[in-house]
Amino acid sequence: MNRQILIPAVAGDGTLYPVEKLDAHVRGLLHLAVSVFVFDADYLLVQRRAAGKYHCGGLWANTCCSHPHWDESVEACAHRRLEEELGFSVPLQRHATVEYQADVGAGLSEHERVTLFSAEVDRTRQAVVPNPDEVDAVRWIRLEDLHVEVRQTPERFTPWFRIYLERFPALRFS
């Protein structure tokens, strides 16, 4: 069953209104989103998006990212999607909210007001159980190695992840 998911879009006056998720991407509407970054010291947990995702399937991205449902807080969304995509829950620290716009292919675009979250874990003790409907693969990568890979093969990474790495090279937001 293909049910419509309503997410919060941002009107010109800053108020929020519900919009269907795919419509937001077709029309390039500014909408709310979350991005989560789970670290173990200088290692970051990254995921390769499932091939069947409606955009950017098969590309590497930060630990987790999504859109809050209409009337869902960004904090609740970040926790929900971490659990749904990677099968675990950890305390998250909320950071800055940033905006970006990017073409994500197939006539779709992301125009997001993103709240950034991070967590610190011990990767040797943190179980990660990817949901195959959402995630094809996960890995821990040193930030230095991540920057090298993105420079050498940017096409393997989502546009938003490349934007975050450019704006915040250390991926530390506080």
Q: Give the residue numbers of the binding site for Mg(2+).
A: 85
- The CA distances from residue 32 to 43, 80, 123, 126, 163, in Å, are 27, 15, 29, 29, 17
**Residue carrying structure tokens 């979350």:** 34
Q: What is the dihedral of CA 121, 131, 6, 163, to 10 degrees?
A: 50
Binding-site entries: 25, 31, 67, 85, 110, 112
Q: Which of 56, 64, 65, 77 is catalytic?
A: 65
Q: Is 64 noted as a catalytic residue in this protein?
A: no
Binding-site entries for Mn(2+): 25, 31, 67, 110, 112
What is the C-alpha separation between 85 and 139, in angstroms, rounded?
Answer: 14
Q: Which of 56, 64, 77, 112 is catalytic?
A: 112
**Contact assessment for residue 26 and residue 11, using Cβ atoms and an 8 Å cutoff:** no
Q: Is 77 noted as a catalytic residue in this protein?
A: no
Active-site amino acid positions:
65, 112
